Structure 1
Amino acid sequence: MVSLSLPLVGFALGLLLWEVLVRASGQSAHVLPGPLQVVTSMGELIADGTIFKHAVASLFRVTAGFYLAILFGIPLGILLGRLKSAWHVLNPVIQFLRPISPLAWIPLAMLWFGIGDKPAIFLIFLSSFFPLVVSTTVAVGAINPVYFQVAANFNLTRLEVITKIVVPAIVPSVVTALRITVMIAWVVVVAAEMIAVQSGLGYLILDSRNALRLDYVMVGMIVIGMIGLILDWAMRRLGRIEFARWNAGQG
C-alpha cells in the first residue's frame, strides 16, 4: 500500500506545483495551460480516438525496431563474446558507430527509406542495436570459464554450449540492458516522428505546436511519460521472473 501511495503523493505534489507556477506566471492559458485545461484536452483527444491512434503508431515503430535489434544484436553479442577473432574484427567498427546519435542518421534514413514508418523503425533499431550488442558481449565474457571446461569434458556441441550455458548465464544482464534500451528507443521514436512521419506522439506534439495548441502538446508529453512508466514496469517484471535471476555464479 505504501509503495503505491508514495508515487501518488509525488504526482499530486507535481500537479500542485504546476498549478502554482501557472498562477504565479500570469501567462495566458494559450502560453502556459494549467492542469485542468490539459486534463480537459486529454479527454477530447481520448473521446475522438486521436491519442490512441498516435500512441499505437509510436508503439508499433518501437516494437518493430526493438525486436529487430534483439534479433540481430543479441546473437552478434554472443558471437563477439565467444570468438575473439570476431571481436577483434568487429569491435572497432561497433565502437566507432556506437557514439553517433541515432538522430544524426535522420537525413540518411529519410533519403534511404523515404517518409513513413521505415526511417523511424531504422532509427529505433540503431538506438537499440549497439547497447544490446555491447551488453551481451560483456555478459558472455563474464561467464565463469569453469562452465566451458565442464562442457568440454562432457563433449557438448557448440549449439549445446550456447543454449545450456551461455543463454541462461547472460539472461540477467540482457534483461537489464533491455530495460535501459527500450527507454532509449522510446525517446528516439518521439524525436524521429517530429521529422520523418505524419503520425505518432512525436508528430502530435509537433503538429499541436504549429497549431499553437500547447495543451495538446502537454497531453502528448504526459502520454509519452505514462507509456514510458508502463514499459519500465514491464521490464522490471521481466527481471523478476525466476529464470532471469539465474546467473553464472549459481548452480
Structure 2
Amino acid sequence: MSASVLAPPAAGAARWPSLPPRWRAATARAGAGIAGLLVLVLLWWAGIALLTAPGSIARAFGPVEGAAALARLLAEGEVLIHAGVSLRRVLVGLGAALLIGVPLGLALGAWRGLERATGPAFQFLRMISPLSWMPIAVMAFGVGDAPVHVLLGFAAVWPVMLNTAAGVRALDPRWIMLARSLAASRRETLWRVVLPGVLGHVLTGVRLAIGILWVVLVPCEMLGVSAGLGYAILDARDRLAYAELTALVLLVGALGFALDAAARALCRRRGG
C-alpha cells in the first residue's frame, strides 16, 4: 500500500466531514458578513469612545448602551407591539402596491401605446418623494393608519409596476404563439404563460419595494399615529431616553435586514 493510504487522516478531517461546496460557500459568505458587522460595531464604539467626553449625553448613543437598552425593551415586550404594528403597515402597503402595480405593469408591458402615453406621467409621479405627500395625505384621510397606508402604497407601487412591465417585455414571444396555437383563451394565456413568466421580475420588484417601504415607514409613523417604531423613536426622543432611541434604531435596522434577507431568499428560490 502507498504511504498516503496508510497515513492517518488529519485531525480536522476526522472530526468535521467535508461539507458540500454549496454549504462551504454559504458558510464563507456568512463569516465574511459577520466579520463586516463586527468591524462596523468596532468603528462605532471607537468613534463614541474617542470623540465624546466621559459622562456626556453622546455616550448614550454607544453600542454597549444601545444593546443593553434593546435587551431591556425586548424583555418588557412593549417594543414588540410597536414592531408588530409597523410590520402590519408594511404588509398593507405592499399588498396595495401589488394589487395596483401588477395589473398596471402587465398592461404597460403588453401595450406599447399605453406605455408611451402614460410613461412621462408615471415617471413624474415616481420622482416625487412619498414623504412630500404627507400633509396632503393627512388632510385627505385624517390621522391614523389610513394616510400611512396610502403613502406606503404610493412608495411601493413603482418598483412593482416597472419590474412587472419589464418582465412582460422580456417574455419569449414563442410562448405566446404556442399558447395561441393550442387555442388557449386570453385568461388561460395570462394565468399559465404570462404570470409564471413574469414572476421572477415581480419578486425583484417586491424586494425593491420592501426596502423603500421600510425606509419610508419610520418618518410616516412620526405623524399622527400612536403606535409603531417611528412613533416609539419620537417618544424616546421627547423623553430624552437616548439609549432607548439607539436601541430602537438598532431594531429598525435588524428588522429591515431580516425582511430583505427573506425577500432575497424568495428571489433565489424562484431563480433556482
- Corresponding residue of 2:259: 231
Equivalent in 128, 133, 137 of residue 156 of structure 2: 128
Contact 2:90–2:217 (CA under 8 A) maintained in structure 1 = yes
Total equivalences in the alignment: 244
Letter in 1 for 2:58: V
Cα distance in structure 1, aligned partners of 2:205 and 2:167:
10
AA at the equivalent of 2:237 = R
What residue is the counterpart of 2:8 in the other structure? none
Residue 84 (str. 1) matches residue 112 (str. 2): yes
**Does 1:200 find its partner at 2:228?**
yes
Contact 1:65 1:124 in 2 (8 A): yes
- Tell me how far 1:190 sits from its aligned partner: 0.8
CA offsets, 1:135-194, max 9 Å, x none?
Answer: 111210121222222222222111111112111111111111111110100111111012
Q: Which SS does the other structure have where 2:225 is aligned?
A: coil
Structure 1 contact 119–196 (Cα < 8 Å) conserved: no
Q: Secondary structure at the match of 1:31?
A: helix
Q: Are the equivalent residues in 1 in contact too, given 2:48–2:58 (CA < 8 A)?
A: no
Contact 1:68 1:125 in 2 (8 A): yes
The range that moved more, 104-113 or 144-153, is: 144-153
RMSD over aligned CA atoms reads 1.7
**Structure 2 counterparts to residues 131-142 of structure 1, below 5 A:** 131-142=159-170
Query: Structure 1 residue 11 and structure 2 residue 40: aligned?
Result: no
Give TM-score scaled by structure 1 length: 0.90
Q: Name the CA shift for 1:30/1:78 in 2 (closer, same or farther; >3 Å).
A: same
TM-score (norm 2): 0.84
State which of 206, 219, 236 in structure 1 corresponds to 2:247: 219
CA–CA distance in structure 1, aligned partners of residues 261 and 242 of structure 2: 29
* Matched-pair identity in %: 33
Taking the aligned partners of 1:206 and 1:72, their CA distance within structure 2 comes to 32
Distance 1:239 1:80 in 2: 23
Post-superposition CA distance 1:48-78 (Å, at most 9, x none) = 2121011111101111111111112111211
Conservation of the 8 A alpha-carbon contact between 2:105 and 2:165:
yes
Matched, 1:31 2:58: yes
Unpaired segments ≥5 residues, structure 2:
1-26
State the partner residue of 1:49: 77
Distance in 1 separating the partners of 2:132 and 2:51: 36
Contact map agreement 1:30 1:213 (CA 8 A) in 2 = no
The AA in structure 2 aligned to 1:10 is: G
Residue of 65, 83, 104 corresponding to 2:132: 104
Structure 1 residues without counterparts, runs of 5 or longer: 247-251
**Superposed structure 1 runs of 4+ greater than 4 Å apart:** none
> Aligned to 1:32, what secondary structure does the other structure show?
helix
Give the superposition deviation at 1:85. 4.2
Between stretches 42-51 and 88-97, larger displacement belongs to 88-97
* Shift, 1:29, TM fit: 4.7
Is 1:119 the counterpart of 2:151? The answer is: no
